[in-house]
Chains A and B, each alone.
Chain A
Amino acid sequence: AQKVTQAQTEISVVEKEDVTLDCVYETRDTTYYLFWYKQPPSGELVFLIRRNSFDEQNEISGRYSWNFQKSTSSFNFTITASQVVDSAVYFCALKYTGKLIFGQGTTLQVKP
């Protein structure tokens, strides 16, 4: 079965703190894609990253970084020096037969 688990329902941090959002996935496929999306209060989904199963190299984009560990089936997302504008719901997703299966989402609140 394909499944994505985001165990953290809500996280609250103070601005400038680092925060890591966890994502654990299950799949029997050897080729798969993992994603992170940001959903601000307005509702639209903002694409953050796509990673395929053959590329375990960690990625950094500005204050964002992602740690992909196939051995533990995890694809964690870290925001460094968080800002109030980072407040949103973040979804991890697994692409399976062309469609996305989303985790439950983690609500991140960054307080000034």
Chain B
Amino acid sequence: GAVVSQHPSRVICKSGTSVKIECRSLDFQATTMFWYRQFPKQSLMLMATSNEGSKATYEQGVEKDKFLINHASLTLSTLTVTSAHPEDSSFYICSAREMAQAGGLGNSPLHFGNGTRLTVT
């Protein structure tokens, strides 16, 4: 089945540094990837939608200059948390959508990575 690889699974960084998280679709092409953030005991909140070859679309309240998203190829999207602070500590999960199938975008399968647990000290 379709697999999405997310790396690293865990990262600890110092306040003020930047961290890059990678999301790769291993056996399918993903024109669109989504980045979610999940604080402890809370739901997954969509941060941004990443489209291959174009700028990401950010949800309201998400700082685009702080959370840099790059989707340079059909199989890779990266999220960089710049100048991380302790309040950015969270669980970040990506999902990748297979290229549109019959029935439109709604019918395209979504596949999730295993998540990255970021701790900023």
Binding site secondary structure of chain B: strand
Query: Which residue of B45, B46, B107, B114 contacts A43 across the interface (Cβ within 8 Å)?
Result: B114
Stretch at the interface among A12-20, A70-78, A80-88, A90-98: A90-98
- Contact between B110 and A100 (Cβ–Cβ < 8 Å)? yes
Q: Which residue of B lies closest to A103 (CB)?
A: B43
Query: Which residue of A32, A42, A101, A105 contacts B46 across the interface (Cβ within 8 Å)?
Result: A101
With an 8 A cutoff between CB atoms, is A45 at the interface? yes
**CB-CB under 8 A for A43 and B117, given A98-B108, A99-B34, A99-B49:** yes
In the bound complex, CA of A100 to CA of B106 (Å):
10
Count class of interface residues, chain B: 20 to 34
| Chain A residues, CB < 8 A from B117 | 43
Query: Which residue of B34, B41, B114, B115 contacts A100 across the interface (Cβ within 8 Å)?
Result: B34
Q: How many A-B contacts if CB must be within 8 Å?
A: 49
Shortest Cβ distance from residue A105 to the other chain B in the assembled complex, whole angstroms: 5
In the bound complex, CA of A93 to CA of B102 (Å):
22
- Contact between A44 and B112 (Cβ–Cβ < 8 Å)? yes
With an 8 A cutoff between CB atoms, is B24 at the interface? no
With an 8 A cutoff between CB atoms, is A31 at the interface? yes
| Chain A residues, CB < 8 A from B42 | 104-105
- Contact between A105 and B43 (Cβ–Cβ < 8 Å)? yes
| Chain B residues, CB < 8 A from A43 | 91, 93, 114-115, 117
| Chain B residues, CB < 8 A from A44 | 112, 114-115
| Chain B residues, CB < 8 A from A102 | 43-45
| Chain A residues, CB < 8 A from B115 | 43-45
With an 8 A cutoff between CB atoms, is B105 at the interface? yes
Footprint of A on B, CB under 8 Å? Answer: 32, 34, 41-46, 49, 91, 93, 95, 97, 105-108, 110, 112, 114-115, 117
Q: Could you write out 10 A-B pairs with CB less than 8 Å apart?
A: A43-B115, A45-B93, A91-B43, A91-B44, A99-B46, A100-B34, A101-B46, A102-B43, A102-B45, A104-B42
